[in-house]
Every structure is written in C-alpha cells, then in structure tokens.
C-alpha cells in the first residue's frame, strides 16, 4: 500500500508539472506548449516558464468584433517571461472574412520571435462549404501579406479529413486530436502542432488548459518563428 501511495504521489507531481512526460510519450517530442483564452483567467506566467512550457498560442479575436479580454495581458506576459507566443483568430463562417481579418490585424502586432498567426477553423458553413474554403483562403492571404509570414491553420482531425483534404498543403497545420495516437491526415499532409489534450492541469493556471506538442526538434521550432 505504501508503494502504491508513493507511486501515485510521483505520478501526480509529474502530471502537474510536466504533462508531456505522461501523454504523449515524452521521448517522442522535445517542444511542448499550451493554448489559452479568457477561459483560463489570470495566469502565472513565471510558473509556466518554470515548468518548461516553450510556447503559448492565445486567442486574440473571434468573428467580426470580439476581442479576447485576456489577450493583451497574456501577450505581454508571455514575452516578458520568454515563452514563444502565437495569436489565433476563431473564424465564424457566416460572417464577412474581410472584417474578420481586420479584427485580427487590428488586435495583434507580431514581433521577431513570435509564432505565425493562426486561423482556427472548427465550424461549417450553413449552406456552402466550398464557399467557406474560398473565404478562408482570402483571410489567410490578406493576413500573410500583412505580417509577411504564412499563417498556421488549426482544426480538428475529423474536420480536416471531412472538409479540408488537399486544400491547405502549403500551410503549417495545427491539429487537435485527444487520443494517444497522433493525428492521421488522409491526404498525407504533415502536421506541425498536435493539440493532444483539452483537460490539462498546470501550476500557474487554475482552469483546465489545452496541451500541445511540436513535431520536430527545438532547432526546427526556432526556424518557424518570425524573423
């Protein structure tokens, strides 16, 4: 019984401090991070840094008008502690793509060392999914032109395989799949980021948080940051 208690305490310690050691296998990936929004509330960024969080994607905007109330603080604090930061826009399919692009651009100023901008695609169009793809590509083109760096496309594995096959092969992909097995994209596309949990626990964040890993070495991760 004492042995089981000791094992539990060790597991609990590492699950709190370094979830990457538990799931997925720590040896498979070198770079781990989180993604956050207002739902995580106030964050102790110094604790995240101490627990080897290397990057943080954070919600900046949604639709035509919404801007995340925690973004400004999260954005500045990530820079202060030295965690690579990235900003994402949650796309609303039935709203004007141009206004959505302006919403993101007006809220996010990228600097050297930041991750590329991210477009979060999770919802389907009410009537025309092909039209949605056209609008998404316009958003990506305008944002790329503004920042001088190709955006990252985020979505779920199932959504990608149903709606996005062969549409975004030229983009870095960030794929959500809450499973021990890594994402499998049916068109053979390669993903760069894997969101492997939506219920992580980390000291420094009071609420559950999404956990992510990067497919590649630390040096390869540094190469995708804004020059």
Task: Render pLDDT for 46-92 as a digit per residue (tens, 0 to 9).
Answer: 999 998 899 999 999 999 999 999 999 999 999 999 999 999 999 99
- For 206: left if phi > 0, alpha if psi spans -120 to 50, otherwise beta; the answer is alpha
Tokens found for residue 106: 């007006």
**Separation CA 97–CA 117 (nearest Å):** 15
Q: How many CA atoms lie within 13 A of 135 on its CB side?
A: 20
Domain 18-223 has CATH 3.20.20.80: yes
Identify the CA nearest to 136 among candidates 170, 176, 189, 92.
92
Residues 103-119: pLDDT tens digits?
999 999 999 999 999 99
- Residues belonging to the active site: 35, 122
* 109 exposure class (CB count in 10 Å sphere: 0-12, 13-18, 19+): exposed
pTM of the model: 0.88
**Can you give the residue ranges of every domain in the chain?**
18-223
Q: In Å, how far are 12, 25, 191, 201 from 184, measured between CA atoms?
A: 30, 17, 9, 26
CB 135 within 8 A of CB 97: yes
Residue 199 has pLDDT above 80, yes or no: yes
């Amino acid at each position: 019984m004492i042995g089981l208690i000791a094992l539990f305490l060790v597991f609990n310690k590492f699950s709190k401090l370094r979830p990457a050691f538990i799931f997925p296998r720590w040896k498979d990936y070198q770079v781990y991070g989180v993604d956050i929004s207002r739902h995580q509330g106030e964050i102790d960024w110094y604790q995240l840094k101490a627990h080897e969080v290397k990057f943080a994607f954070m919600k900046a905007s949604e639709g035509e008008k919404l801007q995340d109330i925690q973004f400004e603080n999260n954005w500045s604090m990530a820079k202060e502690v030295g965690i690579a930061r990235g900003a994402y826009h949650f796309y609303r399919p039935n709203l004007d793509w141009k206004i959505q692009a302006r919403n993101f651009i007006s809220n996010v100023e990228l600097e050297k060392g930041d991750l590329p901008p991210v477009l979060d695609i999770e919802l389907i169009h009410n009537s025309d999914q092909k039209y949605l793809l056209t609008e998404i590509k316009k958003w990506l083109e305008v944002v790329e032109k503004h920042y001088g760096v190709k955006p990252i496309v985020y979505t779920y594995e199932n959504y990608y395989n149903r709606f996005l096959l062969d549409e975004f092969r030229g983009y870095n992909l960030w794929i959500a799949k809450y499973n021990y097995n890594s994402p499998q994209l049916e068109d053979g596309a390669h993903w760069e980021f894997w969101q492997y949990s939506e219920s992580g626990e980390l000291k420094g964040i009071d609420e559950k948080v999404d956990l992510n890993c990067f497919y590649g070495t630390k040096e390869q991760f540094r190469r995708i940051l804004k020059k």
